[in-house]
Structure 1
Amino acid sequence: MYELDKKEFGAFLVELRKQKKMTQKELAQQLFVSDKAVSKWERGVSQS
């Protein structure tokens, strides 16, 4: 099974979020998570 690299996913997420001109807080609201969770994803600290 393929395992997603946390750093790679984080960089991908940052790129998509910036393309949409969204803040971490705006993305978090859309996904029903905290802005802290989005920050952790983008830094490659967590995926859940």
Structure 2
Amino acid sequence: MTRIAIAQLIRAYRGQHRLTQEAFGRRLGVSPQAISKWEREECYPDITLLPDLARILGCQLTDFFREEA
């Protein structure tokens, strides 16, 4: 089964920048619980958030859809 890379990108970014889920959520206008769910792959960010998420993470939109084994 393949998974998209959003969770890994968010976790890596937060770790590099020492941001809490709360602080990262504030930057996107979402709750810390939403960030937690994204990182645990329980759900994915709303598609309308992807451009802002890519800008904050410093990546391309296509990076979110890279499949990982």
Q: TM-score range by the shorter chain?
A: 0.7 to 0.9
- Separation of aligned partners in 2, 1:34 and 1:23: 11
Normalized per residue, which structure has more strand? 2
TM-score (norm 1): 0.78
TM-score (norm 2): 0.57
Count of residues in Structure 1 that have an aligned counterpart in Structure 2: 43
User: Structure 1 unaligned runs (5+)?
Assistant: none
Bigger radius of gyration, 1 or 2?
2
- Separation of aligned partners in 1, 2:26 and 2:9: 19
Could you list the structure 1 runs, at least 4 aligned residues long, displaced by more than 2 angstroms after superposition: none
Deviations 1:17-47 (A, max 9, x none): 1101100000001110000000000001111
RMSD, aligned CA: 1.4
Identity %: 30
